């Protein structure tokens, strides 16, 4: 590694790779580091994405598409379901990915754009001078490095240390984290072109359970629940095991992943002098659905372009880098604000409440509606139960 770059990106997930690719494509000298020895592994993701949004960043490739989903079913605690078609742009799943291959494809595109990529390289601190982030310290194959840069982009996930080292408060309360577990289950009979979402406090308190097909009689079956409701016997792994044993007793579990997703809404501050945060490091996952891949890629694209321009101009102050934050909030902030409000209301609901909501929209055709249009109908059908959300959908 060189001693100096224009931009250092810490973390080679979707946010980091898109940021590195974009900045390099705009002429910046970019280094992207990843602490693990293999990009994309281990997977800590349900692997579902919406088709239209992902096509804005990368051309779909059958090598990293495990299944193509035509629609979704949402199940109430009593088993009543509502079906959404593929055309519902707000539905979170159009493809089920192979994240190990997808993340590597994104990193490959970053490298082809000119970014230098280093795996098994862990950031151990940030270099601070006169209040500015001036680079990082890192460990690579047992050797310590001091690497300087005009801008550091932290894309190091929910456990991000880059932001904290630079003075940004990235801490989360247990209630602001969805903690999850997922099995890859094979030898099961499921509808391979439909994904499922199961609601209920017995199944997944303060969260939901998903079944995402992955082809060849297999599926990702996982759930996420509020970090504040975990207890002995009601951990995500316990609840997940109960569901799989009941619904798919003959299924064979061939993989287990665990992880957490920020559900707090985005950070109040995503930038500092010489520093930008993207993806889960900036808490940009959707608080309602937990979806983070597309949000991360959107943030990486904006941050990479702003960073490249700021570095070339020689102004990497917080005020200059706030252009990224302003653009991101203008494009995506309102949607996440609504998601957070809906999430905060839904986590207080009983199973009886959830059943009533689903029953209230039975028979309605959602094939031309997005997620928030569907939620708007729920609000209008249940004005007393969802009174506090009316202003968000008027």
52 has a pLDDT exceeding 80: no
pLDDT band at 393 (very low <50, low <70, confident <90, very high): low
- Does residue 90 carry a pLDDT above 70? no
The pLDDT of residue 276 is above 70: yes
Q: Choose the weakest-confidence range: 42-46, 55-59, 201-205, 283-287.
A: 42-46
What is the average per-residue pLDDT within 345-362?
A: 90
Model pLDDT, residue 159: 80
Mean pLDDT of the 382-393 span: 75
- The pLDDT mean for the chain works out to 91
What is the structure's pLDDT at 89? 42
Q: Pick from 220-234, 273-287, 351-365 the range whose average pLDDT is largest.
A: 273-287
Please determine, for residue 55, whether its predicted confidence score (pLDDT) is greater than 90: no
User: In sequence order, what are the residues at sequence separation of 6 or more whose Cβ sits closer than 8 angstroms to the Cβ of residue 28?
Assistant: 6, 7, 307, 308, 311, 312
- Burial bucket for residue 198 (CB in 10 Å: 0-12, 13-18, 19+): buried
| pLDDT digits 0-9 by tens, 161-199 | 999 999 999 999 999 999 999 999 999 999 888 899 999
Q: Give the residue extent of every domain in the chain.
A: 4-43+100-172+266-343, 48-97+174-262, 348-392
pTM of the model: 0.93
Cα separation, 163 vs 187, in Å, equals 43
Q: How far apart are CA 30 and CA 19, in angstroms?
A: 10
Instruction: Give me the pLDDT at residue 157, please.
Output: 92
**Distance between CA atoms of residues 100 and 185, nearest Å:** 17
Q: Determine the pLDDT at residue 368.
A: 67
Q: What's domain 48-97+174-262's superfamily in CATH?
A: D-Amino Acid Oxidase, subunit A, domain 2 (3.30.9.10)
> Looking at residues 277-286, what average pLDDT do you find?
96
d(CA 112, CA 126): 27
Residue 387 has pLDDT above 80, yes or no: no
CA distances from 124 to 117, 121, 137, 146, 334 (A): 17, 9, 5, 10, 35
Query: Out of 35-49, 95-109, 363-377, which region has the weakest mean confidence (pLDDT)?
Result: 363-377
- Report the percent of the chain where pLDDT is more than 90: 70
**Which pLDDT tens digit goes with each residue over 3-35?**
999 999 999 999 999 999 999 999 999 999 999
The region of weakest confidence among 39-48, 84-93, 352-361, 365-374 is 84-93
At residue 48, the pLDDT reads 87
Phi-psi region of 200 (alpha: psi -120 to 50; beta: other; left: phi over 0): left
Tokens representing 224 are 């996420």
| Dist CA 244 CA 257 (whole Å) | 15
Return the residue matching tokens 């800590």. Answer: 44
Q: HSE on the CB side for 195, CA within 13 Å?
A: 31
Average pLDDT over residues 273-293: 94
Going by pLDDT thresholds of 50, 70 and 90, the confidence category of residue 381 is confident
pLDDT at residue 389 is higher than 60: yes
Please check the confidence at residue 373 and state whether its pLDDT lies above 80. no
CATH number of 4-43+100-172+266-343: 3.50.50.60
């Amino acid at each position: 590694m060189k001693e100096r770059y224009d931009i250092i990106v810490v973390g080679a997930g979707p946010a980091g790779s898109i940021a590195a690719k974009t900045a390099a494509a705009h002429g910046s000298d970019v280094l992207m580091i990843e602490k693990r020895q293999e990009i994309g592994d281990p997977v800590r993701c349900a692997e579902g994405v919406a088709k239209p949004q992902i096509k804005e960043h990368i051309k779909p490739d059958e090598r990293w598409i495990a299944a193509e989903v035509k629609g979704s079913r949402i199940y109430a605690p009593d088993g009543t379901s509502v079906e959404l078609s593929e055309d519902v742009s707000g539905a979170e799943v159009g493809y089920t990915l192979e994240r190990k291959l997808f993340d590597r494809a994104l990193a490959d595109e970053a490298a082809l754009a000119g970014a230098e990529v280093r795996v098994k390289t862990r950031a151990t601190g940030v270099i601070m001078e006169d209040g500015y982030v001036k680079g990082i310290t890192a460990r690579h194959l047992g050797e310590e490095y001091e690497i300087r840069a005009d801008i550091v982009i932290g894309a190091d996930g929910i456990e991000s240390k880059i932001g904290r080292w630079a003075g940004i408060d990235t801490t989360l309360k247990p209630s602001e984290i969805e903690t999850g577990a997922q099995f890859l289950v094979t030898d099961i009979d499921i509808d391979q072109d439909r994904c499922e979402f199961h609601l209920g406090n017995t199944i997944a308190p303060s969260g939901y359970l998903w079944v995402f097909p992955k082809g060849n009689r297999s599926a990702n079956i996982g759930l996420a629940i509020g970090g504040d409701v975990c207890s002995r016997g009601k951990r995500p792994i316990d609840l997940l095991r109960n569901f799989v044993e009941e619904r798919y007793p003959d299924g064979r579990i061939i993989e287990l992943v665990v992880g957490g997703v920020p559900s707090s809404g985005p950070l109040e501050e995503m930038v500092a002098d010489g520093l930008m945060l993207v993806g889960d490091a900036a808490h940009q996952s959707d608080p309602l659905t937990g979806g983070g891949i597309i949000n991360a890629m959107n943030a990486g694209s904006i941050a990479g372009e702003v960073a490249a321009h700021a570095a070339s101009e020689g102004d990497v102050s917080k005020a200059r880098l706030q252009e990224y934050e302003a653009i991101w909030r203008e494009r995506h902030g309102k949607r996440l604000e609504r998601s957070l409000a809906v999430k905060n209301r839904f986590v207080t609901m009983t199973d009886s409440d959830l059943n009533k909501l689903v029953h209230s929209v039975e028979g309605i055709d959602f094939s031309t509606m997005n997620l928030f249009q569907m939620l708007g109908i729920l609000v209008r059908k249940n004005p007393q139960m969802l009174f506090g959300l009316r202003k968000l959908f008027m």
